[in-house]
Structure 1
Amino acid sequence: MRGATKGAIAVGVFLAMAGGAGYGMYAMVGDAGEGGAATATAAEVGSGPPTAAETLTTAKAFLAAWAAGDARAAADLSNDPEATQYAVADYRTKAHITRAVITPGTPRGALVPFTVRAEVSYDGHSKPLAYASSLTVVRGLTSKKPLVDWQPAVLHPQLRRDEKLRTGTPDAPPVRITDRNGKELTADAYPSLRRILDELRARYAPRAGGKGGTELWIEPALADAPKRTLLTVDPGRPGSIRTVLDAGLQAAAERAALRYQDASVVALRPSTGDVLAVANHRTDGFDAAMLGTTPSGSTLKIVTAEMLLDRGLVTADGPAECPATVSWYGKSFRNQGGFSLSGASFGTAFARSCNTAFIKKIKAVDDDAALAREAREVFGLGLEWHTGVASFDGDVPEVAGAEAAAEYIGQGRVRMNPLTVASVIATAKTGVFRQPVLVPADWDHRPVATAERTMKPEVAAQLRQLLRQTAVSGTAAGAMAGVPGPKGAKTGSAEVDGRVNPDSWFTGYGGDLAAAAYVAGGGHGGEAAGPLVAAVLKAG
């Protein structure tokens, strides 16, 4: 009892008396020393700042009324009676704080520190509560009596204006979220998962089982502000949500993303569509890995190449035209750095990421909507994905003219993110679109998107040949060195208005693991995004 044995307030302690209505009743006992009788009627009308005696007497009387649960008496000793009465009454009836022993300390001028030792009791569970606070005694503006200057912090030092103490069961039981192997996933250990973990709890807490506990918390003044827990009375029994994430790969993806500002990475398993890792390194906290909507550059040539192969307009080993520039509907398209290839195969043009070789074929396709349909019907882009959390499932819209040519190389109105790009190369690897999921679909019986068509086996084989050539001897070779096979990859650089350097994109697979990465303003895909993908593939 800090200061309770010093000076003239040596007798200022509260002792338990017989209780009433389940709430501990306390009074102050002592001699008629400097403080005089500690009653609500002891205050004298005066002028100027309260004297030491007035400060002590008023503080003792106020604390005694509060400890006894006498909200009316406490209000009469405050300069804001209405707020005080509600707060002291709520302390017992809504915060469920009982058996309060409030001990004053040594005053420092008009400020009187005190300690509270009490008990929070709710729904058959109790737990001790102890804290220190203080009050200030001032002269009433009209009554001229010494009064407690009411502030919410008098009741508890962490309370701010219009905030309240409340005890009860939280809105939902606690939820433990784990990876595919049962390892707990937390935002402290895996910061990139914060948005995903919060959303999983919000969506699936009722299905996760568990039993709600009991907490004492601070109810915020603003409806959308978070509650602040002060004391866990009963932790309850947490529910459980098992994701298909892999904690080891998640850690590897988090480390990889840290190499660049504004970097995002996604890893998934092509044979199942399971999302194994989602990582972002951004100052704004945005989950660009799953919610981003930006052109993905030449990584979309995987879709364009599959469409051309399916229509018999190219073969992996057949010839391809790759001039330095080409024009379509008055818009000029060029290869990065202005290179050209003479006598090259389509496989070489793909591996070197020759833009003009693709746009040269748009006249033979003779259908501006063909690429959009192929993206949707074979790769599942633009369908309504149900991953378990909010995600953007890509958009390759039907356009015409020069915009259609831009889409062939992943520019124009194409909108993608690392999740969708990883799904594209996973579909290319297996020949079958499997919608990415974070939570198994059978856990909550939600529908998953299915593509209208699967690739023809001969088309899938040639597409894998193109991706392997790119990974072994093309623009992705440097980044993919050391990644175990069978492997394939594709680089991408997307020009975005307002950026000096293009965005860096890269996607690749090694065995039954695929990944995609994006670095805003990172330049060539193989130089920035490529090493991020390679690091994740090697970790798998």
Structure 2
Amino acid sequence: MGKGVKAAVIGSVFAVMVGGAGYGAYNVVSALDGDSGGTAVARTGPPSGDEVEETAGKFFAAWEQGQATEAASYTNFDQAARPLLAAYARDAHITGVKITPGAANGGVVPFTVDAKVSYDGKSKPLTYKSELKVVRGKTSGKALVDWDPAVVHPELEKDDTLVTGESKSPPIEAVDRDGQVLTKAKYPSLGPVLDTLRDRYGDKAGGTPGVELVIRHAAEGTADTPLLTLAEGKPGKLRTTLSAGVQAAAERAVKGYAESSVVAVKPSTGEVLAVANHREDAFNAAFEGRVAPGSTMKIITAAMLIDNGVASMNGPAPCPDTATWQSQTFKNLPGLAANENATLADTFMRSCNTGFIKLVDEEPLTDASLTTEAQERFGLGKDNWKTGISSFDGSVPASTGPDRAANAIGQGQVQMSPLNMASVTATAITGTFRQPFVVSPDLDGRPLATAQGLPPATASQLTQMMRLTATQGSARDVMAGLGGDIGAKTGSAEVDGQTANSWFTGFRNDVAAAAMSVSGGRGGEAAGPIVKAVLAAGG
């Protein structure tokens, strides 16, 4: 941002409030909702239509006139509202504000803002839509605007700022591995990714900054969100590892399932080919998600068993109906028949929980064996991946008690993202850990994470078991119709009080992909079709 621009922090007093409460819950003392301390009986019940119209009208009028203190007084949290409304004119340089309200519905008033942003002799019109809700003050009984930063602009969140000035980073023209331009308009999932790439690499791509109105996010590591460009900068060209074709397929695939994410990587290099999310927020769960991976974790657990001499793909791994570990009883998914004569390959491809549980206490395994396997062989959990954007490296903590067994089947304390599981599949089939990345480390000289990888015999057995899963096991129906060398592993992660999260990871030739869908059910029901679509496009 240009010199002299001072960003106003929105709602700094949130830090002293109870975490997790909604904005409307903050008027817990009279100072927050205008209680004068008089003896009049406070009104109760939802505000009337006249009260909604009057309160919204007064708030809008003060906002239009740049009277931040007065406008904030019509909210139920004026200490948070005041700095943002002041910054609206002072730091964002937004003037000539005209607000046109729509028809109120249940206390909610939609409105349109028409204004002008002027800075350093440059000016442009600004138009957007938002809404507010009028509620009853809990102690004063007054009708008040229920404060939320999104009232001022729908993309604002707690403690964000609005600033106009010289861009912090020059714009970029991001291109895929073949030189095709990647834009937010064509690939919506890449919006946060492209913002982050600009923030990190704009000054290295050869461009020059422009002048913009942006949201400066409070969350650490989150790039500015541009809202309006007053003067175009010169974009620098930034080459990524992404594939426009695979990315397009990933975007289409996740749209079919709510709260879904997918990542595709190239096992032979570690290059990320696609990253897509279908979410209500802008969180890149594909790279930063931290949830239990369910039975896709059995790839790592199987590798641990093989590397420690406990089992081999053709050795015994009985699959009973139940297995008890330190007083906790584990079961298989409904419909899975017991098989006391199963091999590890049988137990793996049918995703039998009990077969793995019965093996995790064998010598020489310890509470830390799964952690060691994940870190030293698969490069997980060391917090040292440098992908080019924000990412999570997975977590497989050493656990005692029932969690040791639960971790082995992807529950307990294990946390993964689709990026992590795509990398796990890539390591399993090549035997070599190659840290995934979106931008070549040659651009900035950052070191990539390293790990030992797998012995050739272990990688060969994992690959064969994943092939069996895709052609004869739990992933057979999903993977049907895909040609080439294919393999997969299904997973579902149980979550208290909701449908299981759906997980699926697989490979086709030199493409590995993993997907997760919140409350998507079994692996083949939501995540599986997403992965299949991505593999079909890239494999």
Distance, in Å, in 1 between the alignment partners of 2:427 and 2:393 is: 14
Please name the residue that 1:439 is paired with: 439
Residue type of the partner of 2:345? G
Please name the residue that 2:422 is paired with: 422
Residue type of the partner of 2:310? L
Equivalent residue in structure 1 for 2:293, among 290, 293, 296:
296
Name the SS of the counterpart of 2:412 in structure 1. Answer: coil
Distance, in Å, in 2 between the alignment partners of 1:379 and 1:121 is: 52
**Where does 1:106-255 land on structure 2 (aligned, <5 Å)?**
169-213=166-210, 215=211, 229=228, 231-232=230-231, 235-255=232-252
**Alpha-carbon displacement from aligned partner over 1:424-458 (angstroms, at most 9, x marks no partner):** 0110010011000010111110011101x221111
Please name the residue that 2:487 is paired with: 488
1:525/1:447 CA distance change after superposition, 3 Å: same
**Alpha-carbon displacement from aligned partner over 1:451-481 (angstroms, at most 9, x marks no partner):** 1x22111111111111111011000011111
Equivalent residue in structure 2 for 1:313, among 292, 310, 313:
310
1:405/1:219 CA distance change after superposition, 3 Å: closer
Contact 2:216–2:225 under 8 Å retained in 1: no
Residue type of the partner of 2:484? G
Distance, in Å, in 1 between the alignment partners of 2:519 and 2:168 is: 42
Question: Is the counterpart of residue 389 in structure 1 residue 389 in structure 2?
Answer: yes
Equivalent residue in structure 2 for 1:324, among 317, 321, 325:
321
**Alpha-carbon displacement from aligned partner over 1:57-95 (angstroms, at most 9, x marks no partner):** xxxxxxxxxxxxxxxxxxxxx9x9xxxxxxxxxxxxx99
**Where does 1:460-539 land on structure 2 (aligned, <5 Å)?**
460-499=459-498, 501-539=499-537
Name the SS of the counterpart of 2:296 in structure 1. Answer: helix
Q: CA RMSD in A?
A: 3.1
Please name the residue that 2:360 is paired with: 362
Contact 2:165–2:213 under 8 Å retained in 1: no
1:182/1:358 CA distance change after superposition, 3 Å: same
1:188/1:358 CA distance change after superposition, 3 Å: same
Distance, in Å, in 2 between the alignment partners of 1:316 and 1:395 is: 26
**Alpha-carbon displacement from aligned partner over 1:360-401 (angstroms, at most 9, x marks no partner):** 112214411100110000001112100001101100001112
Please name the residue that 2:75 is paired with: none
Distance, in Å, in 1 between the alignment partners of 2:418 and 2:327 is: 32
**Where does 1:13-24 land on structure 2 (aligned, <5 Å)?**
none
1:295/1:182 CA distance change after superposition, 3 Å: same
Please name the residue that 2:450 is paired with: 450
Please name the residue that 2:263 is paired with: 266
Distance, in Å, in 2 between the alignment partners of 1:519 and 1:506 is: 9
Contact 1:382–1:394 under 8 Å retained in 2: yes
Contact 2:331–2:354 under 8 Å retained in 1: yes
1:199/1:167 CA distance change after superposition, 3 Å: closer
**Alpha-carbon displacement from aligned partner over 1:468-499 (angstroms, at most 9, x marks no partner):** 11011000011111222211100001001231
Please name the residue that 2:46 is paired with: none
Question: Offset at 1:228?
Answer: 5.3
Distance, in Å, in 2 between the alignment partners of 1:172 and 1:431 is: 39
Distance, in Å, in 1 between the alignment partners of 2:253 and 2:513 is: 12
Residue type of the partner of 1:529? A
Please name the residue that 2:277 is paired with: 280
Question: Offset at 1:189?
Answer: 1.0
Give the 4+ runs in structure 1 shifted more than 4 A: 119-122, 127-131, 166-169, 217-228
1:239/1:465 CA distance change after superposition, 3 Å: same
Question: Is the counterpart of residue 374 in structure 1 residue 373 in structure 2?
Answer: yes
- TM-score, with structure 2 as normaliser: 0.67
**Alpha-carbon displacement from aligned partner over 1:485-521 (angstroms, at most 9, x marks no partner):** 211100001001231x111100000000000011111
Contact 1:262–1:280 under 8 Å retained in 2: yes
Question: Offset at 1:185?
Answer: 1.1
Distance, in Å, in 1 between the alignment partners of 2:344 and 2:216 is: 64
Name the SS of the counterpart of 1:289 in structure 2. Answer: helix
Contact 1:120–1:129 under 8 Å retained in 2: no
Name the SS of the counterpart of 1:364 in structure 2. Answer: coil
Name the SS of the counterpart of 2:375 in structure 1. Answer: helix
Question: Offset at 1:525?
Answer: 0.3
Question: Offset at 1:227?
Answer: 6.8
Name the SS of the counterpart of 2:361 in structure 1. Answer: helix
Contact 2:259–2:279 under 8 Å retained in 1: yes
Please name the residue that 2:342 is paired with: 344
Name the SS of the counterpart of 2:305 in structure 1. Answer: helix
Question: Offset at 1:230?
Answer: 6.5
Residue type of the partner of 2:330? F
Distance, in Å, in 1 between the alignment partners of 2:217 and 2:430 is: 50
Distance, in Å, in 1 between the alignment partners of 2:230 and 2:419 is: 40
Name the SS of the counterpart of 2:446 in structure 1. Answer: coil
Please name the residue that 2:7 is paired with: none
Distance, in Å, in 2 between the alignment partners of 1:324 and 1:517 is: 28
1:528/1:370 CA distance change after superposition, 3 Å: same
Distance, in Å, in 2 between the alignment partners of 1:277 and 1:221 is: 27
Question: Offset at 1:128?
Answer: 10
* Identity across the alignment (%): 51
Question: Offset at 1:314?
Answer: 1.2
Distance, in Å, in 2 between the alignment partners of 1:403 and 1:409 is: 10
Question: Offset at 1:342?
Answer: 3.2
Distance, in Å, in 1 between the alignment partners of 2:468 and 2:325 is: 28
1:285/1:349 CA distance change after superposition, 3 Å: same
Distance, in Å, in 2 between the alignment partners of 1:172 and 1:418 is: 29
Give ranges in structure 2 of 5+ residues lacking alignment: 1-64, 68-91, 94-117, 127-162
**Alpha-carbon displacement from aligned partner over 1:335-368 (angstroms, at most 9, x marks no partner):** 1116311322211111000111111112214411
Give ranges in structure 1 of 5+ residues lacking alignment: 1-77, 81-93, 96-118, 132-165
Residue type of the partner of 1:403? D
Contact 1:305–1:463 under 8 Å retained in 2: yes
Contact 2:174–2:240 under 8 Å retained in 1: yes
Distance, in Å, in 2 between the alignment partners of 1:440 and 1:524 is: 36
Contact 1:484–1:511 under 8 Å retained in 2: no
**Alpha-carbon displacement from aligned partner over 1:241-264 (angstroms, at most 9, x marks no partner):** 111011110000000001110111
Contact 2:175–2:239 under 8 Å retained in 1: yes
Which is higher, the Rg of structure 1 or of structure 2? 1
Please name the residue that 1:153 is paired with: none
Distance, in Å, in 2 between the alignment partners of 1:130 and 1:430 is: 54
Distance, in Å, in 2 between the alignment partners of 1:197 and 1:378 is: 31
Contact 2:491–2:504 under 8 Å retained in 1: yes
Name the SS of the counterpart of 1:441 in structure 2. Answer: coil
Question: Offset at 1:211?
Answer: 2.5
Distance, in Å, in 2 between the alignment partners of 1:346 and 1:279 is: 33
Contact 2:214–2:228 under 8 Å retained in 1: no
**Alpha-carbon displacement from aligned partner over 1:315-338 (angstroms, at most 9, x marks no partner):** 112222110001011000011116
